[in-house]
Amino acid sequence: MPEITAVRGFKDILPDQIPLWRLVEDKARDLARRFGYLELRAPVLERTELFARGIGETTDIVEKEMYTMEDRSGDKITLRPEATAGLVRAVLEHSLATSGRPTRLFCLGPMFRYERPQKGRQRQFHQLDVEVFGDPGPHIDAEVISLLCAFLTELGLTDVSIQLNSLGCPKCRPIFREKLTSFLKAHEPNLCPDCQKRLIRNPLRVLDCKVEACQAIAANGPDMSECLCPECQDHLAVVTDSLGSVGLRYVLNNRLVRGLDYYARTTFEVHSGYLGAQSAVAGGGRYDGLCRQLGGPDLPGVGFAVGLERLIMILAQTQKLESLGPDYYLAALAPETLGPAFKLAHQLRLRGLSVEADWEPGSLKSRLKRADRLGALKVIMLGPDELANNQVTVRNLVTKEQTILPLTEINLF
């Protein structure tokens, strides 16, 4: 074990794991293109007030989990714990949603939260984040959910389920909040210390608590669906009808609030049975007031985030990707062949071929073993005899056929 190891909760992504990461990232970009979403790359450092105002000062993320520091000028900055607030900031700062049409964006990248590392959840983790700005209607909610489901389905996931809820709007949400607060006060002594604080500052957070005693209490509380105004009921009905029209199955979960303050109306999660108790692999919802809350216009928004570590953990159980070896392994078999071999490898690589080589001479037997371990398709052998005749020997490791070719005819490879 080396003296210095990775920080707890920060993991290396090793070369043998990269094919699954590339598969997921390539599929995300492909689906985004087909659905008309453009990529935006936001910085990982933002001003701390962005998250305090955007996510909510009473959330666990802001209170307990953010990596916050002061830079040399005294400004408080934070490693982003989620992507939505940063994307909203970018949209407002660069006037990306002023055309009158919906602005569809996505980003891929790392997020940071100080929490207990666990299965599929690290302190540095990666997300696919998809957001739409400027469309208040229910069909766009259904669109982002359908994009999410297409993404997971095309990656081969079958054991997934959609949980859906409506958190209401400023018109009807206070009614539910009042009923919930009254109910929880009667059970306050049995709530965990965190929920006793939430009861005063933000009672809806109690519904998101992971403590079993609090979950049992909340399960018997008032139902948000009974408090929805007609407009919110209609909005939810169109979302569910739209999902049903394309064959997507869902379950209404009236206790689903997610962990962020900015959600309103539609909120959703996708769960996978492969992950056991901590089964959420993706989630999101509508946040019509967030842009205004961050100093911008009253711009509606909706989106979701997928945790890539948890998704890749599932894919590692369900998919076997072949490790692609190089097109060629170039075996220089004598010191005097190293120079010509180096030149030949460079020329082949510039022609778009992948070439592995070791720049120390070795025996033919050791080089063939090395090529086999790498999974190379062919071996180019350049020894003293080949060099004297200005030739190379090419062996196909699949068919075992062997061919002698002029050294200059690299186009024949």
Res 2: pLDDT: 85
The predicted pLDDT at position 13 comes to: 94
Record the tokens describing residue 295, joined without a space. 């100093």
Query: Residue for token digits 């209170």?
Result: 63
Q: How far, in Å, are 33, 93, 104, 286 from residue 289 at the CA level? A: 27, 17, 18, 9
Query: Residue 58: what pLDDT?
Result: 62
pLDDT at 264: 86
Rg (CA), the chain: 28
Residues of the chain falling short of pLDDT 70: 57-58, 258-261, 274-278, 321-323, 409-413
What is residue 84's predicted lDDT score, i.e. its pLDDT?
Answer: 93
Using a 10 angstrom Cβ sphere, with 0-12 exposed, 13-18 middle and 19 or more buried, the burial of residue 73 is exposed
- Edge-to-edge strand list for the sheet holding 250-252: 38-39, 103-112, 124-133, 301-307, 280-286, 264-272, 160-166, 250-252
Locate the domains of the chain by residue range.
Answer: 15-172+228-318, 328-412
**What is the distance of C-alpha 306 from the center of its chain?**
4
Specify the residue for token string 């290396």. Answer: 12
Cα dihedral value 374, 375, 377, 380, nearest 10: 20
**Per-residue pLDDT at 59:** 72
173-207 confidence digits (pLDDT tens): 889 889 999 999 999 889 998 898 888 888 888 88
Rounded Cα gap, residues 235 and 52, in angstroms:
29
H/E stretch holding 270: strand 264-272
Q: What local confidence, expressed as pLDDT, does residue 224 receive?
A: 87
Q: Are 373 and 386 in contact (CB under 8 A)?
A: no
Distance between CA atoms of residues 38 and 16, nearest Å: 29
Rounded to 5 degrees, φ, ψ at 369 are: -65, -40
Residues 6+ apart with CB under 8 A from 175: 168, 227
Note the CATH architecture for domain 15-172+228-318: 2-Layer Sandwich (3.30)
pLDDT for the residue numbered 49: 93
- Is the separation of the CB atoms in 179 and 171 below 8 Å? no
Contact call for residues 89 and 46 (beta carbons, < 8 A): yes
Cα angle at 52 between 49 and 57, to 5 degrees?
150
Dist. CA 187–CA 197, nearest whole Å: 13
At the top level of CATH, the class of 328-412 is alpha beta
